[in-house]
Amino acid sequence: MKLRLALVLLAATIVPAMAQSGPNESMQRQACMGDAVRLCGAYIPNRDRIRDCMAAQTEQLSPSCRAVFDASVQAERSPSARR
């Protein structure tokens, strides 16, 4: 039960932390849930700290999570995302 609650909290925190106008929430959750728990579980439920933790460990992210994470960061930086 505690694991389920942790996963729900993680999903509620990591997805908005990574989402801007990049990959959709479902893609982010599917690609990064395991990495977030494995690498940054200590920061759940603080979405800013999870995002920062994952950004600091991009080399250790799974290929699918890294692709989604990079796309989210790119969307965040693009001029069209700021309009």
Greater pLDDT, 80 or 32: 32
pTM of the full predicted structure?
0.61
SS (H, E, C) 38-69: HHHHHHCCCHHHHHHHHHHCHHHCCHHHHHHH
Q: How far is residue 62's CA from residue 1's CA, in Å, rounded to a whole number?
A: 26
Q: For residue 14, give every residue at least 6 positions away whose Cβ sits within 8 Å of its Cβ, in sequence order, or none.
A: 28, 29, 32, 33, 36, 47, 50, 51, 54
Please determine, for residue 29, whether its predicted confidence score (pLDDT) is greater than 70: yes
Question: Percent of the chain having pLDDT more than 70?
Answer: 65
Q: Among 17-21, 31-35, 43-47, where is mean pLDDT lowest?
A: 17-21
Tokens 């990591």 -> residue: 14
